[in-house]
Chains A and B, each alone.
Chain A
Amino acid sequence: MPKKSYRQAINEAIRQEMRRDPNVIVLGEDVAGGQGSSGGPGKVGSVFGVLAGLYDEFGADRVLDTPITESAIIGTAGGAAMTGLRPIAEIMFADFVGVCFDQIYNQAAKFRYMFGGRAKTPLVIRTTIGAGFRAGAQHSQTLHPLFTMVPGLKVVMPANAYDAKGLMIEAIRDDDPVVFLESKLLYDSDGEVPDEPYRVPFGEANVLREGKDVTVIGTGFMVARAAQVAAELAKSGIQCEVIDPRTTSPFDEDTLIESVQKTGRLVVVDESPPRCGLAADISSIVAEKAFKALKAPIRKVTCPHTPVPFAPNLEDEYMPNPRRIEAAIREVLAA
């Protein structure tokens, strides 16, 4: 099977869907890039290069560069979705949703329910998440809990190139607003990605590694870190079961509960602050539904309750790292 990067996988998914369905459009800041410049448009393909070449293939009518006005980007995309297009809107960094959150959570997410089921909003909001990029407090957050708590939104966190393509195709074909969170640190990671279009369904977790001793669940970039620690611990006979839920809304409770029933121990690795976050949410689900199976208290490995710091050493400590993940696993095993 051909090897492709996470970035190429997303590009291929969008390109194939744009070929298949003329209603699919892309809009956002510099999604083509260079409009009005001396060098001409299409040279950028979004700042991380995810949309490279789309302008050349589909032109300005379907790859729309917008001003740096996120509310208008998401509002335009939501209105276009409600009236029949299938827009893919890009918010360059998830941190920027602060300026357009009304159009996400008050508008697009609610059209269907508020209008009694009579509206359809097939909208994909692509954005980038994650620290470790030395980008400071306003370009580094992982804000999936904000989106996950909003009824009406679906939230996707691809953790590898294969999933990135299949989940993007699923997102574009979905009739509800989908927030598609791309981990910046994964863009250059390679994986086996089929050339043909395929779908990865929402709400179906990926069990990366089976194990009987402890369940370790993580999302996005943290999946790779959890798997790395699990591989190390396997050498000393500790068998971790590593779960990637792929989507935080809908969330595959069944796979997680089944795993905890087997292992009796849970470590949740999540790159976001500890309060009211995904790790707290997952812990509460397990506490409610698998309490009697637990042999030890649940351990959360999260970021501290701070903004993302700039200094490299502080930022590395801010993110859940292999040392902290391993310590948490050993702690629940010792309990």
Chain B
Amino acid sequence: MADGASQALQMSRDELRRAYRRMKTIRMFEERVEKEFAAGNIPGFAHVYIGQEASGVGVCHDLTDEDYIGSTHRGHGHCIAKGCDVKGMMLEIMGKAGGLCHGKGGSMHIADLSKGMLGANAIVGGSPPIAVGAALTAKMRKNGRVSVAFSGDGASNQGTTFEAMNMAVVLKVPAIFVFENNGYGEHTAASYAVGAPSIAERARSFGLMADCVDGSDFFAVVDGMRRALDRARSEGLPYALETTCTRHLGHFVGDPQPYRTPDELAAARAVDPIKNFRARVTDVKLLDLAELDGIDAEIAAEIEDAAQAALAAPFPDLSTLETDVYSRY
């Protein structure tokens, strides 16, 4: 495996800028979600992706709008990595008219089929079978698309996930199972709840090729995904990729995390994919700090704009309560 510095050198500046922009957009979007949640502007609850940015952005780096992803309850990062509009997302998370799902989905159900984003999913293990279905469509149409199922370490234990992996092997479809192992399923450690030696190891036992990469290293994730994509696009076969990450915050926004020691939390937060990326690309002098800071300023303005638009937007009209249950009834 090539090291990060040499991989960075193989990417164009535009690619690196796009990757950085996406990771930093996720970080700042999620920080704003925390803030708006604390201010009482977000109904329900929210799960943020802070600390895991390199995983989602690395996985989606070589995907197009035509490829599919299915996501999780912690899906904001996947949406942004797949190119969903941040204003539409912020509106949706606040339950406003004009949101990506017209305010009927919310944080855990954001979808944008025009971007191949088949939905965040509030059921742990909900997405893998659905992603297999999208991969089946790609196989039937022979269009070279692939389908990615994002799951966490928690969903790696679900029967639906096992069924989906077996089904993908049996039907020979280009499905990629990405397991973002952030060390915790809700408030229980993966070291306790994942009974297998590793998630990738267990996936391998289902007959998939599988690999595990450092999910805090964007370049390692891209590298792992390229092996997965090679298998999926050229051979039409499934693959599993475990990305090890750290969750900088609690399970949900406001989780006081009594189950994690201050030392553990500090260590988790010290693993920062964005700091890591900045150091790597500036070390090899592909991007400089001033340019990265300039991107930060642009993103800050974009997030501010999205948040202000969402705060100002009306809730959906009550006349929409009973629309779109069916195409026709």
A-to-B contact residues, CB < 8 Å? 23, 25, 61, 64, 66-67, 69, 71-85, 87, 102-103, 106-107, 111-120, 151-152, 154, 174-176, 203, 250
Contact with A along B96-121 (1 / 0, CB 8 A): 00011111110001011100001101
- Whether the pair A71, B325 counts as a contact (CB closer than 8 A) is no
Whole-angstrom distance between the Cβ of B125 and the nearest chain A Cβ: 8
Whole-angstrom distance between the Cβ of B322 and the nearest chain A Cβ: 9
- Whether the pair B171, A64 counts as a contact (CB closer than 8 A) is yes
- Whether the pair B323, A66 counts as a contact (CB closer than 8 A) is no
B-to-A contact residues, CB < 8 Å? 68, 70, 99-105, 109, 111-113, 118-119, 121, 123, 126, 128-138, 140-141, 147, 159-160, 163-164, 166-167, 170-171, 323-329
Pick the most buried of A75, A87, A112: most chain B CB atoms within 10 A of its CB: A75
Q: List 8 contacting pairs A-B, 8 Å CB cutoff, sorted by A.
A: A66-B170, A69-B166, A76-B129, A79-B70, A82-B118, A102-B123, A111-B119, A114-B109
- Whether the pair B325, A152 counts as a contact (CB closer than 8 A) is yes
Partner of B134, one of A61, A80, A102, A175: A80
Contact A79/B118 with A106-B123, A118-B113 known, Cβ cut-off 8 Å: yes
Q: Which residue of A lies closest to B133 (CB)?
A: A79
Partner of B101, one of A23, A75, A116, A152: A116
Whole-angstrom distance between the Cβ of A60 and the nearest chain B Cβ: 10
Q: Which residue of B lies closest to A75 (CB)?
A: B129
Partner of B327, one of A78, A176, A203: A176
Known: A79-B134, A85-B140. 6 other contacts (CB 8 A): A61-B140, A76-B136, A79-B118, A85-B137, A114-B101, A203-B329
Q: Which residues of A contact B121 (CB under 8 A)?
A: 107
Whole-angstrom distance between the Cβ of A123 and the nearest chain B Cβ: 9
Partner of B324, one of A72, A75, A81, A116: A116
- Whether the pair A71, B326 counts as a contact (CB closer than 8 A) is no
Q: Which residue of A lies closest to B327 (CB)?
A: A175
Whole-angstrom distance between the Cβ of A222 and the nearest chain B Cβ: 24
A73–B132 CA distance with the chains assembled, in angstroms: 10
Q: Which residues of B contact A250 (CB under 8 A)?
A: 329
Q: Which residues of B contact A112 (CB under 8 A)?
A: 324-327
- Whether the pair B163, A118 counts as a contact (CB closer than 8 A) is no
Q: Which residues of B contact A116 (CB under 8 A)?
A: 99-105, 324
Whole-angstrom distance between the Cβ of B149 and the nearest chain A Cβ: 9
Whole-angstrom distance between the Cβ of B72 and the nearest chain A Cβ: 14
- Whether the pair B160, A72 counts as a contact (CB closer than 8 A) is yes
Q: Which residue of B lies closest to A64 (CB)?
A: B171
- Whether the pair B136, A67 counts as a contact (CB closer than 8 A) is no
Q: Which residues of B contact A107 (CB under 8 A)?
A: 121, 123, 126, 130
Q: Which residues of A contact B164 (CB under 8 A)?
A: 72, 75-76
- Whether the pair A102, B137 counts as a contact (CB closer than 8 A) is no
Q: Which residues of A contact B328 (CB under 8 A)?
A: 174-176
A104–B328 CA distance with the chains assembled, in angstroms: 19
Q: Which residues of B contact A81 (CB under 8 A)?
A: 133
Partner of A67, one of B135, B137, B170, B329: B170
Q: Which residues of B contact A87 (CB under 8 A)?
A: 133
Partner of A152, one of B113, B133, B160, B326: B326
Contact A80/B137 with A103-B129, A116-B101 known, Cβ cut-off 8 Å: yes
Whole-angstrom distance between the Cβ of B15 and the nearest chain A Cβ: 27
Q: Which residues of A contact B138 (CB under 8 A)?
A: 83
Contact A83/B123 with A75-B164, A116-B324 known, Cβ cut-off 8 Å: no
Contact A77/B170 with A114-B101, A116-B104 known, Cβ cut-off 8 Å: no
Whole-angstrom distance between the Cβ of B173 and the nearest chain A Cβ: 9
A175–B128 CA distance with the chains assembled, in angstroms: 23
A-B complex: 8 closest residue pairs judged by Cβ atoms: A75-B129, A79-B133, A117-B324, A116-B102, A116-B101, A79-B130, A72-B163, A80-B133
A218–B138 CA distance with the chains assembled, in angstroms: 43
Q: Which residues of A contact B102 (CB under 8 A)?
A: 116-117
Whole-angstrom distance between the Cβ of B32 and the nearest chain A Cβ: 22
Contact A106/B126 with A72-B164, A76-B133, A175-B328 known, Cβ cut-off 8 Å: yes
Contact A77/B133 with A67-B167, A103-B160, A116-B102 known, Cβ cut-off 8 Å: yes
Q: Which residues of A contact B323 (CB under 8 A)?
A: 117
Q: Which residues of A contact B159 (CB under 8 A)?
A: 71
A117–B102 CA distance with the chains assembled, in angstroms: 8
- Whether the pair A76, B132 counts as a contact (CB closer than 8 A) is yes
Q: Which residue of B lies closest to A115 (CB)?
A: B111
Contact A115/B130 with A76-B136, A84-B141, A175-B328 known, Cβ cut-off 8 Å: no
Whole-angstrom distance between the Cβ of B224 and the nearest chain A Cβ: 23
Whole-angstrom distance between the Cβ of A334 and the nearest chain B Cβ: 39
